[in-house]
Amino acid sequence: MGRDEDFSDNKSARWKNMLLLAFGQKKMFQNPTVAILHLIIYGGFVIINIEVLEIFLDGILGTHRLFLPVLGSLYSFLINSFEVLAFAVLVTCVIFLIRRNIIKLKRFISNDLNGWPRSDANNILITEIVLMSLFLLMNASDRALQLNQAEGYHETGSFLISGLMAPSLSGLSVGTLQAIERTCWWLHILGIFAFLNYLPWSKHLHILLAFPNAYYARLMSPGKMTNMPVIQNEVLYAMQPELAPTEPAAPGKFGAKDVMDLSWRNLLDAYSCTECGRCSAACPANETGKLLSPRKIMMSTRDRLEEVGRNINANGEFKDDGKSLLHNYISVEELRACTTCNACVEACPVSISPVEIILEMRRSLIMEESSAPQEWNSMFSNVENNFAPWKFAPDDRDKWVSEIN
What pLDDT digit, counting tens, does each position of 89-143 carry?
Answer: 999 999 999 999 999 888 888 888 888 888 888 988 999 899 999 999 998 998 8
Rounded Cα distance between 378 and 369, Å, is 17
- 267 pLDDT exceeds 80? yes
At 324 the pLDDT is: 95
Rounded Cα distance between 28 and 22, Å, is 10
pLDDT 10s digits, 119-131: 888 988 999 899 9
Identify the weakest region by mean pLDDT among 89-98, 137-146, 227-236, 304-313.
Answer: 227-236
At 25 the pLDDT is: 84
Is 132 within 8 Å of 142 (Cβ atoms)? no
Is 233 within 8 Å of 252 (Cβ atoms)? no
CATH 1.10.10 for domain 252-365? no
The share of the chain scoring above pLDDT 90, in percent, equals 43
Rounded Cα distance between 262 and 354, Å, is 12
Using CA atoms, how far residue 365 sits from 107, 213, 255, 332, 360, in Å, is 29, 28, 8, 8, 9
At 78 the pLDDT is: 86
The share of the chain scoring above pLDDT 70, in percent, equals 99
Domain boundaries along the sequence of the chain: 11-203, 252-365, 373-405
At 251 the pLDDT is: 66
Q: How confident is the model at residue 216 (pLDDT cuts 50, 70, 90)?
A: very high
- 53 pLDDT exceeds 90? no
Rounded Cα distance between 144 and 165, Å, is 9
Identify the weakest region by mean pLDDT among 30-39, 268-277, 389-398.
Answer: 389-398
Rounded Cα distance between 158 and 139, Å, is 10
Highest mean pLDDT among 235-239, 362-366, 381-385: 362-366
At 235 the pLDDT is: 78
At 110 the pLDDT is: 87
